[in-house]
Chain A
Amino acid sequence: MLKTMSSGSKQPIFRFLDEVGRISSFTGRFFAEGFRPRYEWAELLRQCYVIGYRTLPLVGITAFIMGLVLTVQSRPTLEEFGAESYLPSMVALSVIREIGPVITALICAGKVGSSIGAELGSMRVTEQIDAMEVSGTNPFKFLVVTRVMACTLMLPVLVVVADFISLYASYVGVNIKDVVSLELYYNNVFNSLVYGDVLPAFVKTYFFGFAIGIVGCFKGYHSDKGTEGVGIAANSAVVVSSLLVFIIDLVAVQIADILGLT
């Protein structure tokens, strides 16, 4: 139904604005319908499991490599200034404030965003969403609201796990040359961290999760007929949500700056 409204003009700028408008009204619908009964708890839990648990190995491995590489590569520079003792806190700062959230979000945009886009897209194409609707179940609540909520709730969890794994990897990296106890290492890290480092970084992960969920669902839910539409839905879900992650990151930095949280 929505389709008939759009795709009228061919100019890219109008297509872009049209798309922005449609995503906005989709988001509006999420807030209008998401917080009214009936709540789909069982499906929400299942989605949290799917999104959180199944992405964990990938996020874990990436986080470990990231922490290790960052540590090993930063060492020579710091050594030049005779500042190796700052290595743990420097790595911790970059991981917790920036790299952890952004890399985790990008991995989720790739893995979760595309799978939501493809799943809902194929459900749209094969009329499963229509079937759900005529069976008296609100497909928007059952499919979209649960997935967006699950993304929003699970991304921060994944980021926290990724941060810890990265820090552990960094500890391993430090120990390649020096010998530092885990306790000393973590003391060093946590003494250097202040509230202003952790809080904005944590808050923005909710927005990352929300954006990934909304974009994936939007692309799938309104995908075009035909199997081609499924591929396009999955693909553009990844592209748009990755881009949004960076934009949100940029905005978050500005806001944190204005609020004096840096």
Chain B
Amino acid sequence: MTGIQPIDHSAGPVVIRTHDLYKSFGKNTVLRGFNLELHKGENLVVLGKSGSGKSVLIKCIVGLISIDSGSITVFGKEVSELDQAGLDAIRVKIGFLFQSSALYDSMTVRENLEFPLRRHGKGMSREEIDRLVIEVLESVGLRHAVDLMPSELSGGMRKRIGLARTLILKPDIILYDEPTTGLDPVTGREISKLIVDIRQQYGTSSIIITHDMYCTRIVADRILVLSDGICHAQGNYQALSSSEDLVVHPFFHSI
């Protein structure tokens, strides 16, 4: 870590902690001793160059990618030691917005949103499910798209439907992989505001991966810069934007 002082966010309990995380793909070492803590109710933005391993990091957290060494605890449970049932129990509490949206192509928007509900919203009535679907669609501003197929949606719409699907189970933690990338500035801002609103409404803790500095500025409680597989710097927006560090500086002063 460089000279920047991390600001104190240890107000809430830690919900995600990674310690000394190592992950390589063949000869390509992506994470080399990465540490991170996410506190309850916090919005943590992770910055890093393309290919620096940001997506790999959050996939490790939900157990999609197995780690080489180190530890990841979510709600105090060690992810690599959980059996399938334990992993599923944790995954239900974590919303994951994929960089590619990952909508189910063979299902309509409605079916996409209903899919997690049908599997985890035990004993929900038809009306309740319908109401929730419409509610989340309205919160991302796409109520009219309810009966379209994913192939009929634009990239930005897919992203928003992906976000709606993430929100529908009201997760305690949300991991956003580039929520605003590929959107026009106006929609991008709406999504950024939505992320702020979601935290206010549901008290979720989030890790947000982004390159969008507007988004970073309005959502971040704390920012962490991932570089060379470690946490290179962390701090709040003000602290980092005035940093002269060669890795940190370009993110905040790209124009």
Task: Give me the interface of A with B, judged by CB distance under 8 Å.
Answer: 1, 4, 119, 122-123, 126-128, 130-138
On chain B, the residues within 8 Å of A130 by CB distance are 59, 64, 98, 102
B74 contacts the other chain (Cβ, under 8 Å)?
Answer: no
Cα-based distance from A137 to B85 in the complex (angstroms): 10
**Mask for B89-114, Cβ within 8 A of A = 1, else 0?**
10110101011101111100000000
Q: Are A134 and B105 in contact (CB under 8 A)?
A: no
Q: Are B98 and A135 in contact (CB under 8 A)?
A: no
Query: Nearest-CB distance from A69 to chain B (Å)?
Result: 37
On chain A, the residues within 8 Å of B123 by CB distance are none
- What 3 A-B pairs have minimum CB-CB distances, sorted nearest first? A131-B102, A127-B102, A136-B88
Give the residue among A122, A123, A134, A136 with the most B Cβ atoms within 10 A.
A134
Q: Which residue of A lies closest to B162 (CB)?
A: A131
Cα-based distance from A122 to B105 in the complex (angstroms): 9
Q: Are A133 and B64 in contact (CB under 8 A)?
A: yes
A135-B119 in contact given A128-B102, A128-B105, A130-B102 (Cβ < 8 Å): yes
Query: Nearest-CB distance from A171 to chain B (Å)?
Result: 41
Contact check: which of B25, B89, B115 meets A135 at CB < 8 Å? B115
Cα-based distance from A123 to B100 in the complex (angstroms): 12
Q: Are B119 and A136 in contact (CB under 8 A)?
A: yes
Task: Give me the interface of B with A, judged by CB distance under 8 Å.
Answer: 25-26, 59, 62, 64-66, 84, 88-89, 91-92, 94, 96, 98-100, 102-106, 115-116, 119-120, 169
Pairs A–B under 8 Å by Cβ, sample size 22: A1-B65, A1-B66, A4-B25, A119-B106, A126-B100, A126-B105, A127-B99, A127-B100, A130-B64, A130-B98, A131-B98, A131-B104, A133-B64, A134-B62, A135-B91, A135-B115, A136-B89, A136-B92, A136-B119, A136-B120, A137-B115, A137-B116
On chain A, the residues within 8 Å of B120 by CB distance are 135-136
Q: Which residue of B lies closest to A137 (CB)?
A: B119
Query: Nearest-CB distance from A144 to chain B (Å)?
Result: 15
On chain A, the residues within 8 Å of B103 by CB distance are 128
Query: Nearest-CB distance from A10 to chain B (Å)?
Result: 15
A-B contacts besides A133-B91, A135-B96, A136-B88, 14 pairs, CB < 8 Å: A1-B65, A127-B98, A127-B99, A127-B100, A130-B98, A130-B102, A131-B102, A134-B62, A134-B64, A134-B91, A134-B94, A135-B116, A136-B89, A136-B92
On chain A, the residues within 8 Å of B105 by CB distance are 122-123, 126, 128
Cα-based distance from A127 to B98 in the complex (angstroms): 8
Q: Which residue of B lies closest to A33 (CB)?
A: B84
Q: Which residue of B lies closest to A122 (CB)?
A: B105
Query: Nearest-CB distance from B192 to chain A (Å)?
Result: 23
On chain B, the residues within 8 Å of A131 by CB distance are 96, 98, 102, 104
